[in-house]
Amino acid sequence: MAKTITYEMEIEGMTCHDCEVHVSQALERIGASTVRASFQRGEAVFVAPLDFSFDQARKAVAQAGYHPRGIRELTEGDGSQFTSMAGVDYDLVIIGSGSAAFAAAIEARGAGATVAMVERGTIGGTCVNVGCVPSKTLLRASEIYHAARYPGFHGLGTRAGAPDLAQLVNEKDALVQTLRQQKYEDLLAEYDIQWVPGEARFIDDRRIQVGERTITAGRYIIATGARPRIPDIPGLDEASYLTSTTALDLTMRPDRLIVIGSGYIALELGQLFRRWGAQVTLIQRGRALMPSYDADVRSVIHAAIEDAGIELISPAAYERVERHGSEVMVHLTVDKARRVVQGDALLVAAGRTPNTEALQLQYAGIDVGDHGEPLVDATLQTHNPRVYAAGDVTLGPQFVYVAAYEGKIAARNALGLAGRPQSLDLDVVPAVTFTQPGLAQVGLTETRARQMGLAVKTSVLPLAAVPRALANRDTRGIIKWVAEADSGRLRGAQVVAENAGEVIYAATLAVKHGLRVHDLTETLAPYLTMAEGLKLAALTFEQDVNKLSCCAG
């Protein structure tokens, strides 16, 4: 007996029981059975064979006068009864091998699904190879070097010689190799994930080709990640530029570094080379630096960047880039005035673009966005019900922990491990920029909350009111809470401070679990920690903490 699967189709336009009959008849004519249409729920649930044509189903419903939307497989239970699919090579094929891919693979193997992972390059994706791990280890080295040169205490006579960038790059590479082996390569055998090296491309809505091999799967997950986006600026391709990947391999420090971009990557790498002693100039198109923060917080960020000796040029329109020998020149228009910025190295840090150009997504019936990203719904399903996408390739929040979370959700939904599909919840996503001071935020800003029509109140605490900052002799920064005006429920936090990334996790828990201002003010906070600033900022809603004794909060 041929294997059948139960599907659910979302349908707009049904208004009565006659509509249900029309939809049922349309689906039955193309091979569906046991059709249960509901105009109240805007859906039709039906049984169909494994080779059922979703495009044909959409056309049949549309011809009946209604508007078909998403189609998804329905399974019963919690995934404990998962059984492998007949007539396919694997239950799940994952294209890519980064954090989203491995999270998906581990989730699927835990349910007993057969899994293959296809990778055209180096296992591990962006984070371990060219992103988080290598950048943060070099950033830490630069922090120590800078602290040795400028300790901030007059009684310390520390000094530091010139950094050995070649040795630091070797140490960085050794760490990358170790983590790639332990956290990725070793897990293939641990979880019995089949490794398929090569470039994957869809040849239709059910199959991919890798080299000379054709592979079929019950479900696919696209987790190919993203790479640095190169803006269309005349002369840029001929100018020999760096990206966030190649900049981490430099063994010689540039004297004058020009950075195209001013986002978190630009700020981190700009400050990295500034600490090594380079002159650094950031160029941005817009007026606002880090526009996801509120204006009062942005002003503190801007002051910290200037205090680090980094020049920021904005708003700039790029005319062209030229290179003459060792000299690179970026021609700009800044507030209608022409300007030329000169340097000996150019770093492009202008966002990310998805790795999809080789996948032939059009053959799989997958719609893409303006940058080539596969378009997904809240369950990470593409227009093709057999294909899901997760991680940076979707151009959602570009964080490794979001990618891993999405990979797990994609696997659950693709294989029906959670019963009904599980939607993403990205309302409370912490974001950290590893500058000095660090930048971090979570939840709603004041600006966003008011745009949503929420009545909110805020507290703003300068870091000079945080004892830890005073002890550190570094009071650059600010802590800001956003809370609902009536209930006091905390909706968002922004932190500019040393160790902002460590501080923001406590704020994340507070926002995610609906804590209120009084929950923080009535909680003991350890003295002389930066995290104590969250409580002090909460107290600032009602009183002036400068008039309290130490620990009196």
Residues annotated as catalytic are 14, 16, 19, 66, 127, 132, 550-551
For residue 28, give the amino acid letter.
E
Q: What is the DSSP secondary structure assignment for residue 367, as one 8-state letter?
A: -
The answer to whether 373 and 356 are in contact (CB under 8 A) is yes
Q: Can you list the alpha helix ranges (DSSP code H) found in 355-514? A: 400-415, 446-451, 467-472, 500-512
The answer to whether 426 and 406 are in contact (CB under 8 A) is no
Pairing of strands 311-313, 279-283: parallel
Kindly state the tokens that stand for 1. Answer: 């007996």
The separation between the first and the last C-alpha atoms of the chain, rounded to the nearest angstrom, is: 71
**Among residues 262, 269, 266, 307, which one has the least CA distance to residue 289?**
262
**Among residues 261, 258, 15, 210, which one has the least CA distance to residue 93?**
210
Cα distances (angstroms) measured from residue 526 to each of 51, 150, 531, 551: 61, 28, 8, 9
CA dist., res. 146 & res. 268, Å (int): 14
Kindly state the tokens that stand for 406. Answer: 């999405």
CA dist., res. 461 & res. 515, Å (int): 19
For residue 448, give the amino acid letter.
R
Phi, psi for 86 (deg, rounded to 5): -80, 150
- Residue 490: strand pairing partners: 483
Kindly state the tokens that stand for 76. Answer: 């019963």
Phi, psi for 167 (deg, rounded to 5): -65, -40
